[in-house]
Amino acid sequence: MSSIISSNRPGGGIKWQWPSIHPEGRKFLLIAAIVTLCFWLLGWEIVGWLMFGVTLWVGAFFRDPVRVTPTGGDVVIAPADGLITQIAEVAPPPEIAGADGLGEAPMLRVSIFMSVFDVHINRTPVAGTLRKLVYIPGKFLNADLDKASEENERQHFVVERADGVRIGFTQIAGLVARRIMPFVTMGAELATGQRVGLIRFGSRVDVYLPVGTTPQVLLGQRTLAGETVIARIGQAAIIDGIGQ
């Protein structure tokens, strides 16, 4: 797939387009459509219309819109669509701590909660080499709970930039989510905003920022995967906002 090169320079324009359906979701969309058709053929119109609504939702859940990713060398991009529900200083997860991971020092964790209505394709927040990819089986607690980071099924990523700075992020399954799927493998060279995985259905993504970096997003703010700048490496300015 070719990349879209964009800027804020004057001139030109762009038109809205329907997002594509990710290949992983096409089989579910087909199943829902077949079940819907069967109910209509049987004359069960009420159930058929309900299933038609489910079919539309399945298509929306697996939508994979094009995103325009800022390419500044210091930016950290949101890996998920959703709501910023937690910003906390925590120790890095033991599975990706240590000298070959994120180290041992406490770091700021930004948690993004994805509802079943959000896009669920996750993207890497920075460009670099995928140094760690660790899958941990676990529970399926509400992904909005703090302990979900330690008890739920999850998958950790550590990406090392060309300058040696490492960013960690974690896909966390939730109450409804029952499968975490990676699209990449250890050692892969990733571009900022590249698609790296999918969680079915409803979940959370945590981002672990390097020491000395403060989030440039606020609690209650919504993010777009591959587009929203959630931090700038080395920038520690605190920002405030107003809900309105």
| Residues classed as catalytic | 203
Apex CA 54: angle with CA 50 and CA 56, to 5°? 115
- Contact of 111 with 85, CB cutoff 8 Å: yes
Question: Token pair 């390419």 is at which residue?
Answer: 71
Please give the single-letter amino acid code of residue 146: D
Between CA 72 and CA 229 the distance in angstroms is 10
Give the sign of the dihedral formed by CA 122, CA 125, CA 127, CA 130: negative
- Torsion angle, alpha carbons of 62, 63, 64, 65, to 10: -160
Residues 6+ apart with CB under 8 A from 173: 138, 140, 143, 152, 153, 154, 179, 180, 199, 203
* Spatial CA neighbour of 67 closest among 56, 77, 57, 82: 77
Query: How far from 86 is each of 77, 108, 133, 213, CA to CA, in Å?
Result: 17, 10, 23, 16
The token pair at 99 is 């000298």
